[in-house]
Structure 1
Amino acid sequence: MPTLVRMQLTKLLHAEPDLRVVGSAAGPDELVAQARRLRPGLVIAAENQLLGLERLARQQPVPVLLYSSAAPLAGMLREAARWGVFDYIRPLLSHEHPGFNQYRNELLRKIRSVRLPVVAPTVARTPTLPMPPSRVVVLGGSTGGTTAVESLLRSWRPSPNTTIIVAVHLPAHFTNSFVERLRKVSGLPVVAGWPGTTLEAGTIIVAPGGQNTVIRPVTRGAWLTWQTDVALEASPTPDEPSIDLLMRSAVRAFGRATTGVILTGLGTDGTLGAQSIWQAGGVVVAQDEASAAVFSMPKSVIQAGYATTVLPLAAMPEYLSRVVLPGRPAWVGPVTASPKFVAR
């Protein structure tokens, strides 16, 4: 939640002699670490911290009040209950607001209700929704692209909040063999992104050859998730799968939390997709000429001015590990050359 809100809540709670705020956390890693060290009786978490709550429930279970900008749907609270969420609170009101005293009393009632014995939830063997990603990385390539993707994924360990989608120009019958190759080099689950494949955090999806894949939103119960689908719009280039269409759809779904990586390949596919990412404030990484088997695709992106940085393939894992993190600013501005890291 915003720092100002956190400070105001802390001040409000400190005024109560039976309540004490023992700490605060800015992200999932810090949340889990603080909870394990301080062992609080309650955590108040913002709705954008669901990934951290899932990890908290596994490593240090604790009751959670969800600070929500709007009343959550009943289905959302039912799903969130498996992460310890027992109720929610509305946005904090100012002291001058006529409804402040009522808000304060309701907040304190919910907090003090945690003093009652907490019954551990029964582990139900029912299907649960996969954790949606908060960031997406699109790896695009053509000639030499399969080898480049293998090399990148062999060394890169992405943030667990991320879904990676791979689009390399291949015939349809090579899709399954490419998936198997990536499974051998990556520690993450790798699946073929046939229509209807749900985007799940911590997975790699391979766009099938011979067709154009896009990301579309889908509502399941109270949750908004994303899945792959066949593109209905025409591709700017004849290459399949279209990197341009995939990147554009990723931007529509994730905005500035989209990262595009343009690898070796012939042609210009990926340039218009990189433009969409750049305009949304995301990050675009282009492979440098020395490490690319065919420099056409990265060169097109670089010359158009949409590359955030230009890197040799071997330097990409370390750069992406620093850039693709929860809560980090996505945009650092474009560069048109120089195989150097961009200052973060």
Structure 2
Amino acid sequence: MKIIKKWALLTAIILVISFGLTACNITGKISEIPITGKVAEEQSNELFGNQFELLAEASDLFFKENRIQIMEPADVYNKVLLIGNPNYYVVDLRLSGHFAGGSIQGSVNIPYSSTWRMGQIAKLPKDKKLVLVCYSGHTASQTAAFWTMLGYDVAVMRYGMAGWTKNKDIIGSGTLPCAPFDNPISQEPIQFNDSYTLPGIDEEVTNLAELIAKQSEKFLTSGKGSVITIGTVQTRIVEGNEDGLLLVDIRQSQDYQAGHLPGAINIPFQSLAEPANLEKLPSDKTVVLICYNGHFASQAARVLNQLGYETVAMKDGMSAWTPDSAIIGANPIDCSWIVDYPTVYIKGESDETGVGCS
């Protein structure tokens, strides 16, 4: 009950702030808005308190709520596109040129690199479920975490356009592996008792929504990658024993115990932002998150990046690391279920900020 009340309060504050956002502007920053009543009494020109702790508490509530829906491409086709359901709003996060070359009918385009721009976010409907689509599901999952923390109702289409069509001209670099690797597995749990100093955050913001947006802006404009491939993990960590990366398996403990990457520690998704677990994460190493198929790891990577950690998700997760479903905790990856759902071609070129925002 305490968690629900805290989340409700945080969401209420964020919603009040978000409804006052302007549409697209040059700077992409949140504008000054008049707020009255109790919120105005509690709000000043500066967000007081330990900003890391405030954001960590909001992050912990995000993980425990676990509200982001993963929609199958078939459900998007049947429940959204086929009947024209007005309760859904499809947002394509791919580059504008790829969006124009083939997209889901009725979707709008906000390229991933600009998903931090509050002017664009403010134009998204609060009364609909946003269905995010990218190349393979990973950057959509990252964005879903960010926008959910801003108060939006967000879903992710599993495997992105790679799960929607077999057309490689549309999929681009998002092609799925059609069979899992058969990489080494360990059943020896790793006891990890190290403790690290928590990152510091000190931004000139007036509220939690601005802080969340600012931290995502910093990540998205840094040029840092959001995923690491299985081949890189195998070469650099498992075979190369590289010390600059920490493997963190965020699956449920029973699935971790059934089998995991050699050297990986276990911090389940829902407890990832608890204070004791955040202290286990080093700020001088890259944290590699591993889940079932990459979607949950991508959500978690964005939240931890917002907190100041260097974090990436292992692309496609355990479903592509091993063919053993008993170890994965889900089915291994394959392409046999993919069908060619219809796409539309947009004549002409979109600008880099995406359709619907100049």
Normalised-by-shorter TM-score class: under 0.3
Task: Pick the structure with greater CA Rg.
Answer: 1
**Per residue, is there more strand in 1 or in 2?**
1
Higher relative contact order (CA 8 A, sep 6+): 2
TM-score, L = length of structure 1:
0.24
